[in-house]
């Protein structure tokens, strides 16, 4: 069994892992990043689809969260404002109508009121006082929004936790939404480049043995599924909560020896991992979503509750496709998940045809391709993003607390103020790196583990 020794191991090369590793490296800490996939980025993955960039995972920048904008600026990556045109279509209406301003305003009030509520979103919406104050339309819109945008079944989602995440998703006084022009993949490349061969791809962590000040990590590497053990002073663990929640012995579960502290285990178990099914539909000819070409087309009550057009909608050359995203989150996504790409794509086309009052077969005939991303089935994510469940309002903060100054858990699920977002993941990575660096400062005696000739030098150093 090959062995190597490092100062700090970072497990997972999504936004949190890349951010933590970059910070540590900048501070002179020897770091190795172990990533299961053949690419960095995790839930940031930009694909080339018929000449257009499409996102399998995150697509938007919500608001103007400082560290993310700073990174984008440093990497010279442009963003575009997505626009805010919204239309509602009834389940079988042929005439989309602009989303009613009063119901949008009422929904915003409901989301704000979550902040003072105990229990789940469903509990809050069912309260007589809630029913007396807000219209059924606004309550239904709020429920659909939480299921869709937060990917959180309303019966499970904490009202207070959702309010907090909602503030974090806006992340600024202006709650505009932006798109990373070349795709989030460009940011991943910019972050990964300086890490060089410290970033080990195709390296699937299977076990973590730890004691205060020392970590051993077993990983399966390809080709040949060779086992390798890495040793370090500390580990930053950025595994998605869906992976950490796998029961012992399940395919993909990571064995911690000794087990993580009870409070940490409890926090992991009590967070929710929201399912999302995202479909990108390509059309041979420009596809109109109605008068004014709204950005978002809401289809409440359907399996896919919102559609939006991707940039490049106007053909760049004759025959260029037009692309639409069909989005299902929460309970809808859980019901769709596992049905297979063909069935899911057909369902998306069916909803779109009904929403626009078009013939389903005719619409299907115009569709030249579909990309289906069923995140619940992704073995290295096991869902799209985390949400705070009722009663677990402190879970993210518990996870952000270092374990014996040795294991530092990061990732979007550990950032209570921006859970489920790219900037939440980024902040968590920076937070974990800072925690490691503070300890390093304390430990930097002549024999300390972080001293240049310390106990765990890089192999061959
Ligand atoms: C469909 C979808 C749409 C989204 N839309 C948005 C959006 O518009 N805006 C926004 O802000 N956020 C959005 N998000 C959320 C955002 O993508 C995530 O919050 C963020 O990217 C998570 O980063 P992370 O580093 O915490 O986790 P990840 O990116 O999941 O990184 C964890 C890494 O750990 C690796 N890993 C897993 N298991 C192992 C193992 N055993 N060994 C080694 N490595 C392992 C994974 O491969 C992964 O690379 C979206 C997510 C999805 C799925």
- Look up the ipTM and state it: 1.00
- Strand, helix or coil for residue 37: coil
What is the per-residue pLDDT for 290?
A: 66
Does ligand 1 have an atom closer than 6 angstroms to the CB of 274? no
State which of 169-178, 214-223, 419-428 shows the largest mean pLDDT: 419-428
- Which residue puts its alpha carbon closest to atom 20 of ligand 1? 422
Residues flagged as binding site? 35-36, 205
Burial (CB count within 10 angstroms: exposed 0-12, middle 13-18, buried 19+), residue 100? middle
What is the pLDDT confidence band of residue 227, given thresholds at 50, 70 and 90? confident
Strand partners, 97: 88
Say which range, 249-258, 350-359, 420-429, has the weakest mean pLDDT: 350-359
Does ligand 1 have an atom closer than 6 angstroms to the CB of 184? no
Does ligand 1 have an atom closer than 6 angstroms to the CB of 278? yes
- Which residue puts its alpha carbon closest to atom 27 of ligand 1? 14
What distance in Å separates the CA atoms of residue 326 and residue 357, rounded to the nearest whole number? 17
Which of 23, 40, 43 is the pocket-test mutation for ligand 1 (most atoms within 8 Å of CB)? 43
- Is-cis flag, bond preceding 223, omega within 30? yes
Does ligand 1 have an atom closer than 6 angstroms to the CB of 334? no
Give the distance (Å) from ligand 1 centre to CA of residue 14: 6
CA of 423, closest atom in ligand 1: 11
State which of 83-92, 249-258, 442-451 shows the largest mean pLDDT: 249-258
Domains and CATH numbers, the chain: 2-43+185-270+386-443 (3.50.50.60), 100-177 (no CATH)
CB neighbourhood size of 318 (10 A): 6
With a cut of 70, say whether residue 97 has pLDDT above it: no
CA angle 365/367/368 to nearest 5° reads 110
The sheet carrying 60-62 orders its strands as: 60-62, 177-180, 79-81
What is the per-residue pLDDT for 454?
A: 42
Does ligand 1 have an atom closer than 6 angstroms to the CB of 204? yes
- Which residue puts its alpha carbon closest to atom 26 of ligand 1? 411
67 φ, ψ (degrees, to nearest 5)? -65, -35
- Which residue puts its alpha carbon closest to atom 38 of ligand 1? 380
Does ligand 1 have an atom closer than 6 angstroms to the CB of 186? no
- Average pLDDT over the chain reads 87
Which of 10, 38, 385 is the pocket-test mutation for ligand 1 (most atoms within 8 Å of CB)? 385
With a cut of 80, say whether residue 102 has pLDDT above it: no
Does ligand 1 have an atom closer than 6 angstroms to the CB of 43? yes
Pairing of the two strands 46-49 and 31-34: unpaired
Does ligand 1 have an atom closer than 6 angstroms to the CB of 14? yes
Does ligand 1 have an atom closer than 6 angstroms to the CB of 62? yes
What distance in Å separates the CA atoms of residue 361 and residue 349, rounded to the nearest whole number? 9
Strand partners, 137: none
Does ligand 1 have an atom closer than 6 angstroms to the CB of 456? no
Does ligand 1 have an atom closer than 6 angstroms to the CB of 161? no
- Which residue puts its alpha carbon closest to atom 31 of ligand 1? 14
With a cut of 80, say whether residue 362 has pLDDT above it: yes
With a cut of 50, say whether residue 171 has pLDDT above it: no
User: How much is the CA Rg of the chain, to the nearest whole Å?
Assistant: 23
What is the per-residue pLDDT for 3?
A: 47
Higher pLDDT, 460 or 401: 401
List alpha helices for 87-179, DSSP H. 101-113, 121-126, 128-133, 136-149, 159-170
Higher pLDDT, 358 or 121: 121
Say which range, 19-28, 55-64, 279-288, has the weakest mean pLDDT: 279-288
Residues flagged as binding site for FAD? 35-36, 205
- Which residue puts its alpha carbon closest to atom 2 of ligand 1? 57
pLDDT tens readout for residues 135-164: 998 999 999 999 999 999 999 999 999 999
CB 300 within 8 A of CB 352: no
Average pLDDT over residues 239-263: 96
Alpha carbons within 13 angstroms on the beta-carbon side of residue 230 total 30
Nearest to 71 by CA among 35, 26, 101: 26
Does ligand 1 have an atom closer than 6 angstroms to the CB of 191? no
What is the per-residue pLDDT for 450?
A: 54
Average pLDDT over residues 60-81: 93
- Which residue puts its alpha carbon closest to atom 53 of ligand 1? 384
CA of 12, closest atom in ligand 1: 34
What distance in Å separates the CA atoms of residue 136 and residue 114, rounded to the nearest whole number? 16
């Amino acid at each position: 069994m090959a062995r190597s020794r490092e100062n700090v191991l970072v497990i997972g090369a999504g936004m949190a892992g890349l951010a933590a590793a970059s910070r540590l490296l900048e501070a002179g800490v020897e770091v190795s990043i172990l990533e299961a996939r053949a690419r960095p980025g995790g839930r940031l993955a930009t694909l080339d689809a018929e000449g257009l960039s499409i996102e399998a995972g995150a697509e938007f920048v919500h608001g103007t969260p400082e560290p993310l904008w700073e990174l984008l600026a440093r990497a010279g990556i442009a963003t575009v404002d997505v626009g805010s045109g919204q239309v509602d279509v009834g389940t079988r209406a042929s005439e989309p109508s602009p989303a009613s301003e009063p119901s949008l305003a009422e929904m915003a009030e409901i989301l704000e009121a979550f902040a003072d509520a105990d229990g789940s979103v469903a509990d809050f919406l069912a309260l007589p006082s809630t029913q007396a104050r807000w219209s059924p339309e606004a309550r239904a819109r709020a429920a659909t929004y939480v299921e869709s945008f937060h990917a959180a079944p309303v019966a499970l989602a904490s009202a207070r936790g959702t309010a907090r995440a909602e503030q974090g998703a806006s992340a600024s006084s202006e709650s505009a939404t932006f798109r990373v022009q070349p795709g989030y993949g460009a940011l991943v490349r910019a972050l990964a480049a300086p890490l060089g061969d410290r970033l080990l791809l195709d390296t699937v962590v299977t076990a973590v043995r730890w004691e205060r000040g020392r970590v051993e990590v077993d990983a399966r590497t390809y080709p040949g599924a060779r086992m390798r053990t890495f040793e370090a002073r500390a580990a930053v663990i950025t595994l998605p909560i869906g992976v950490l929640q796998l029961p012992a012995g399940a395919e993909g579960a990571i064995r911690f020896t000794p087990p993580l502290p009870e409070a940490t285990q409890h926090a992991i178990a009590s967070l929710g991992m929201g399912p999302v099914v995202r479909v990108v539909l390509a059309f041979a000819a420009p596809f109109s979503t109605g008068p004014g070409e709204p950005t978002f087309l809401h289809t409440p009550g359907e399996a896919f509750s919102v559609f939006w057009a991707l940039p490049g909608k106007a053909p760049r050359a004759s025959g260029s496709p037009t692309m639409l995203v069909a989005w299902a989150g929460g309970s809808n996504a859980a019901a769709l998940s596992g049905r297979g790409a063909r069935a899911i794509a057909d369902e998306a086309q069916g909803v779109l045809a009904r929403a626009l009052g078009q013939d389903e077969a005719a619409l299907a005939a115009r569709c030249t391709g579909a990309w289906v991303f069923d995140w619940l089935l992704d073995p290295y994510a096991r869902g799209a993003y985390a949400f705070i469940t009722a009663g677990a309002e402190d879970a993210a903060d518990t996870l952000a607390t270092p374990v014996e100054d040795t294991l530092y858990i990061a990732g979007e699920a550990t950032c209570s103020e921006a859970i489920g977002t790219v900037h939440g993941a980024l902040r968590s990575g920076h937070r974990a790196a800072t925690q490691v660096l503070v300890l390093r400062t304390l430990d930097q005696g002549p024999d300390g583990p972080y001293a240049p000739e310390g106990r765990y030098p890089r192999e061959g150093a």
